[in-house]
Amino acid sequence: MKMDFLCSTKRLETKMKTLKYGFFILVIFMIVPFNLLAQNKEIPVTTSSKEALKLFLDGRNKYENIEFLAAIPFFEKAIQIDANFALAYLYRAQSGGGNTIFRQNLDKAVALANKVSDGEKYMILNVQASADGNGQKEKESREWLLKNFPSDKRVQLMAGYYYFNIGDNANALVYFTKAIELDKNFPLPYNIIGYCQSALNNYQEAEKAFQTYIKLIPNNGNPYDSYGELLLKMGKFDESIIQYKKAVEKDPVNFAGSLAGIGNNYIFKGDYETARKYYQDYYDKAPTAGDKLTALFWKATSYVHEGKVENAIKTFDEYRALAEKENRVTNAINSYTNQAWILIETGNPTEGKKYLEKQNDLIGTAKLSEGDKENYLTGSMMANIYFLTANGELDKALAESEKCKQKVESRKNPGEEMELNSVMGMLETQKGNYDKAIEYFSKTGTGGPMQWYYTAVAYDKKGDRQNALKLFEKIAKWNVNGLDLALFRKRAMEELKK
């Protein structure tokens, strides 16, 4: 299981395997002389209580091992003892419970940011900027931290996560490697190094990283879960299932989600019923509402793989009902987004538009932070361009894209820039400007099945069948489950048969 640096909430459902609460793990002290701090070159933490400090350290250790549920009570007890413990609020924000809990705790950390050290302050502001989609402020805070605390392994880790999340795995590896150079026994960098190497198709290096991770924390579930994901991507389904089962055996609570990994293997075996049995098992054993929502997401995705669109839509109805019951408004919004996406891509854009309208209505009435609202409004503009393009309303799509460009440029958010390039590529393909479309798609980072598919279409339409076939084959052999793959895998396979 990856643990990513905070990504925008509107992208949560398309990357469900990845946890979306940020990653900031810091070195703690009570009161130390300034010269000692200068020697350590590590970010200090402000707290008035030794007991709160110990609780925080214990919680941090569990958090680093991705035992989020186990970490929560430690952070909450630390906050009870020291109500001004800014970083305890920051960690609690990132330990799970949904967007409302995330925002509530982040707001408390931000309110205390001017009462703690500059290092803590910039960490808090970095999370806030990332959550709000403010790319410029996020960059400024990240650069400040790297300049002032270059020897803090966790600052290096934070920078690596940023590049990893925008698909720049080569740069991400530079920072993760620095974190290990600072502490070769620090487990977590090996985990994400494995994912970076996997993304770069360096499977031997990825295996080496995951096996080191296993050796460092052999009784934790996450190394086995991560290794299982690599083996799944490599097409070694039976070996992958063994690793996922080990993760569940090691920690059946924190890693009930590994049951979904087993289900994903059965998707690629073509056994959708067995896949759904494991997703249901995950749902039944889920320790949180968030886990139940994830299980339903995978169930819906399995129906898309199988071509049962109506079942997928109904499952997302079930998903939304649970989200509303648990007061998880961002999940409810995302359910409409996914339903619209499924319907548009399966040839029913008119019906898909109805779900986009419901999504927009909920964005307008929901109690969201200003940052979340701006994230969703920006995403909504791009979704509208996408719909107009799919529906053949190209002039309207072009006019909307001009407004959207201005908004995205002002926010300087790399993720949004890549998403806009993706929809612009689709628009230019529909307009017949295939070279321009391919240029846009080339600016979507590592992309994914959707970007690869439409790039292949652009190549095909310009008469370059060879490059088109390479991309169709890449999709067909892509053993990384997701709603995007479910929508485009069979279409790519059909192209390969022509």
Residues 6+ away with beta carbon under 8 Å from 180: 153, 186, 189, 190, 193
Do the domain assignments include residue 79? yes
Q: Is the dihedral of CA 2, 4, 9, 10 positive or negative?
A: negative
Residue 10 confidence (pLDDT): 30
Cα gap 115→455, rounded to integer Å:
50
In 10 A of CB 329, how many CB atoms?
Answer: 20
Do the domain assignments include residue 316? no
In 10 A of CB 66, how many CB atoms?
Answer: 26
Do the domain assignments include residue 1? yes
> Whole domain around residue 30: which residue ranges?
1-148
Do the domain assignments include residue 450? no
Q: Structure tokens of 27?
A: 């070195």
In 10 A of CB 266, how many CB atoms?
Answer: 20
CA distances from 91 to 61, 63, 306 (A): 12, 8, 40
Do the domain assignments include residue 266? no
pTM for the predicted model, two decimal places:
0.87
Per the CB < 8 A criterion, the answer to whether 298 and 265 are in contact is no
CA distances from 237 to 207, 241, 244, 267 (A): 15, 6, 10, 10
Segment among 18-27, 254-263, 301-310, 437-446 with least mean pLDDT: 18-27
> Residue 430 gets which letter from DSSP?
H
Based on the structure, what is the number of domains in the chain?
1
Do the domain assignments include residue 370? no
Question: What string of DSSP letters covers 106-124?
Answer: HHHHHHTGGGS-HHHHHHH
Do the domain assignments include residue 32? yes
> How confident is the model over 294-317, as a mean pLDDT?
98
Residues 6+ away with beta carbon under 8 Å from 433: none
Q: How high is the mean pLDDT of the chain?
A: 91
Residue 1 confidence (pLDDT): 63
Question: Tens digits of per-residue pLDDT, 47-74?
Answer: 999 999 999 999 999 999 899 999 999 9
In 10 A of CB 333, how many CB atoms?
Answer: 29
Three-state SS for 175? helix
Query: What CATH number did the domain enclosing 113 receive?
Result: 1.25.40
- For 337-342, the CB contacts below 8 A with 24+ separation are 337/10, 337/13, 337/379, 337/383, 338/13, 338/14, 338/297, 338/300, 338/483, 339/313, 340/383, 340/387, 341/483, 341/487, 342/304, 342/309, 342/312, 342/313, 342/316, 342/483, 342/487
Do the domain assignments include residue 116? yes
Per the CB < 8 A criterion, the answer to whether 127 and 112 are in contact is no
Question: Tens digits of per-residue pLDDT, 116-125?
Answer: 999 999 999 9
Per the CB < 8 A criterion, the answer to whether 302 and 276 are in contact is yes
* Residue from 83, 85, 93 nearest 46 by CA: 85
* Residue from 399, 389, 402 nearest 433 by CA: 389
Confidence of residue 22 (pLDDT cuts 50, 70, 90): very low
Residue 60 confidence (pLDDT): 93
* Residue from 457, 455, 453 nearest 485 by CA: 453
Estimate to the nearest angstrom the gap between the alpha carbon of 335 and the chain centroid: 16
Q: What does residue 41 show for φ and ψ, rounded to 5 degrees?
A: 55, 40
% of residues, the chain, pLDDT over 90: 89
Radius of gyration of the chain (CA): 22
Question: Tens digits of per-residue pLDDT, 249-265?
Answer: 999 999 999 999 999 99
Question: Tens digits of per-residue pLDDT, 345-392?
Answer: 999 999 999 999 999 999 999 999 999 999 999 999 999 999 999 999
Q: Is 7 a residue whose pLDDT tops 70?
A: no
